[in-house]
Amino acid sequence: MVMDINEIREYLPHRYPFLLVDRVTELAIGESIVAYKNVSINEPFFNGHFPHHPIMPGVLVIEALAQVCGILGFKTVNKLPADGYVYYLVGSDKVRFKRPVMPGDKLTLEADVIKGKRGIWKFACRASVDGELACEAEIICAERKVA
């Protein structure tokens, strides 16, 4: 175990129901991260998406990927939200969904740094279930100081 939920909460300002990372299993500072989210039928979005055929919304899969990018960014620059910083999702390119994510799935989240310059980071990201690609995207995040 590289990061449990308590340490993740130090690096992400998100809280229930929007904290979408349960554990980080691999982390190479400045390079890559592997984490996962256990997808449960108890997630609030399943009440409406869709009641008789529950599927995790694609935008939340992208958000989960962006959250692992934020963890990798914070770890790389050695900062925390408690220091007054936040990572914003500012762009996504080449987004493709390959399979639905459903209750009971363990969603593996991976991100590799493509480049980082002056607080703007670009990542190659993949989300998979049991080794099967669910989503891929390039995600851009920006580090910002907040008041």
For 116, the token pair is: 């980082």
| 53 in catalytic set | no
DSSP code for 23: E
Residues marked active site are found at 49
